[in-house]
């Protein structure tokens, strides 16, 4: 009996030391740590539990100097809200967190899930597709989709409250499909509807898996039935994506020409097919990158638009200023917006930036630490994980005493912005691995 007790004590001490192994310059530990399991219990319980934990992490991290330790079992996460340390960590670590592996069956080695070297090469090659001139080439499409959205929303006027997100998500996904696949959303409406429906289901499953940590166990995930549904949907989405890639490839052969430069209406698929012709991207690479861009842009765009409408609806004074500016720029006509108009919508742009600052969709930037990284007061080692909390950077005291106030005017002059404000505005990410990457 005594031997069993001694064995259990030794085992407990060993596991305790393994869990909270004190390394050089370790940060303070987040409150509520329990031997062996760490803070695991704080992220079990669905979306509300996870959101509460992220909020508490941010508050405690600010109180304790900007960096604290969060443990999932023995795995240490450096939680960072200090802007300087956040930049250091983001620029030093290009490998994504292990949590992104759950998306690999769907997105493969796309920009979201790929490792450092693959990401560097793909991002550099794909940069021309995200050039401003290419985006502006789709203004007619954006105008048409916006008009269609307004017409659909008119059906809800003078009715009961409704969920605007469903309208915005449909519009966002149609627009993104058109720009990524280079298709006409009206002529290819059947494809768009099938692709949209399948992606929405897949995103729902992936979100549930992320929010419920027990589903990240392969055994439980299979037994739950979600794994089977996910596999079926992934296979279906891949078939749809491949069919468009093949069709576009055939169309290019029929034209007997390749578009080698970023022309006005060059879609992402056009650029990738050029790279395919140069033996740089395979068919699988093309499908993975297109699916990745669509998934990355769809949910974030839909929610950002939703928050923007909620702000306009709940703040009449902001709505009035935006409406007045649009009327001044467009005049009494019902014409489409053009490139010159966009440059004149200064207050509207400021309002959008303020929405993105205060209502960021993504809660954190997650990184896998693969080499020693020296922060101001602490050291991260290979095997550690890093979690940079976006909400806390966007609401840092450097924004001023009115940091919690929705005030678009802060964006109208450099004097009101924090010095080097890219470190304090992390909605699209921070460091070298930015935006969809």
Residues 6+ apart with CB under 8 A from 127: none
At CA 43, angle to CA 14 and CA 429, rounded to 5?
110
> Would you state the pLDDT for residue 316?
97
Tell me which of 18-22, 211-215, 377-381 is least confident: 18-22
For 339-358, the pLDDT digits (tens) are 999 999 999 999 999 999 99
Mean pLDDT of all residues in 193-218: 83
| Residue 329: both structure tokens together | 């720029």
For 167-197, the pLDDT digits (tens) are 998 899 889 888 888 887 778 888 888 888 8
CATH topology of domain 22-423: Cytochrome p450 (1.10.630)
Q: What's CA 432's distance to the chain center, in Å?
A: 15
Please give the DSSP secondary-structure letter assigned to residue 78.
E
Q: At what angle do helices 165-181 and 139-154 cross, to 10 degrees?
A: 160
Residue from 360, 95, 98, 358 nearest 210 by CA: 98
> Would you state the pLDDT for residue 260?
47
Q: Are 311 and 318 a contacting pair, CB within 8 Å? A: yes
Q: What's CA 276's distance to the chain center, in Å?
A: 27
Mean pLDDT of all residues in 223-231: 92
> Would you state the pLDDT for residue 348?
98
Tell me which of 193-202, 399-408, 427-436 is least confident: 427-436
Residue 304 clears pLDDT 50, i.e. is over it: yes
For 135-173, the pLDDT digits (tens) are 888 899 999 999 999 999 999 999 999 999 989 988 998
The residue assigned the tokens 């897949």 is 202
> Would you state the pLDDT for residue 303?
93
In degrees rounded to 5, what are phi and psi of residue 191?
Answer: -60, -45
Helix (H) / strand (E) containing 379: strand 379-380
Residues 6+ apart with CB under 8 A from 430: 86, 87, 90, 365, 388, 390, 393, 422, 423
75 or 260, which is more confident?
Answer: 75
For 43-93, the pLDDT digits (tens) are 887 778 888 999 999 999 999 999 999 999 889 999 999 999 999 999 888
Residue 435 marked as a ligand binder: yes
Report domain extents, the chain. Answer: 22-423
pTM, two decimals, is 0.86
* Overall size of the chain counted in residues: 437
> Would you state the pLDDT for residue 386?
94
β-strand pairing of 95-96 with 364-368: antiparallel
> Would you state the pLDDT for residue 332?
86
């Amino acid at each position: 009996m005594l031997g069993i007790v001694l064995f259990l004590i030794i085992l407990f001490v060993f596991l305790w030391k393994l869990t909270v192994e004190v390394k050089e310059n370790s940060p303070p530990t987040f409150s509520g740590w329990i031997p062996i399991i760490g803070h695991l219990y704080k992220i079990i319980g669905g979306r509300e539990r996870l959101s509460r934990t992220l909020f508490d992490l941010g508050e405690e991290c600010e109180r304790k100097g900007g960096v604290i330790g969060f443990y999932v079992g023995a795995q240490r996460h450096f939680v960072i809200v200090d802007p300087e340390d956040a930049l250091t960590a983001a620029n030093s670590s290009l490998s994504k967190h292990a949590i992104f592996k759950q998306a690999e069956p769907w997105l493969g080695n796309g920009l979201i899930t790929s490792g450092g070297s693959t990401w560097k090469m793909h991002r550099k090659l794909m940069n021309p597709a995200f050039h401003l001139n290419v985006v502006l080439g789709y203004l007619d499409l954006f105008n048409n989709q916006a008009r269609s959205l307004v017409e659909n929303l008119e059906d809800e006027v003078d009715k009961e409250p409704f969920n605007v997100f469903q309208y915005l998500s449909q519009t966002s996904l149609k627009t993104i499909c058109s720009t990524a696949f280079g298709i006409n959303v009206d002529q290819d409406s059947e494809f768009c509807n099938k692709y949209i429906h399948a992606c929405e289901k897949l995103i729902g499953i992936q979100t549930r898996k992320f929010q419920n940590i027990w589903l990240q166990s392969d055994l439980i995930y299979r037994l739950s039935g979600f794994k089977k549904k996910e596999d079926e949907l992934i296979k279906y989405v891949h078939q749809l994506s491949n069919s468009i890639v093949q069709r576009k490839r055939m169309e290019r052969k029929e034209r007997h020409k390749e578009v080698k430069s970023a022309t006005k209406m060059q879609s992402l698929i056009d650029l990738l097919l050029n790279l395919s012709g140069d033996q740089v991207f395979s068919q699988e690479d093309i499908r993975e990158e297109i699916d990745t861009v669509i998934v990355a842009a769809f949910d974030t765009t839909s929610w950002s638009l939703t928050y923007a409408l909620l702000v306009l609806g709940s703040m009449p004074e902001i709505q009035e200023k935006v409406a007045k500016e649009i009327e001044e720029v467009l005049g009494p006509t019902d014409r489409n917006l053009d490139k010159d108009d966009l440059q004149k919508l200064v207050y509207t742009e400021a309002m959008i930036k303020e929405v993105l600052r205060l209502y960021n969709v993504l809660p954190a930037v997650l990184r896998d630490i693969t080499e020693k990284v020296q922060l101001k007061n602490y050291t991260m080692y290979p095997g550690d994980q890093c979690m940079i909390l976006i909400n806390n950077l966007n609401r840092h005291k450097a924004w001023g005493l009115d940091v919690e106030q929705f005030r678009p005017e802060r964006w109208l002059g450099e004097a009101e912005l924090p010095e080097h404000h890219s470190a304090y505005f992390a909605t699209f990410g921070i460091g070298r691995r930015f935006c969809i990457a």
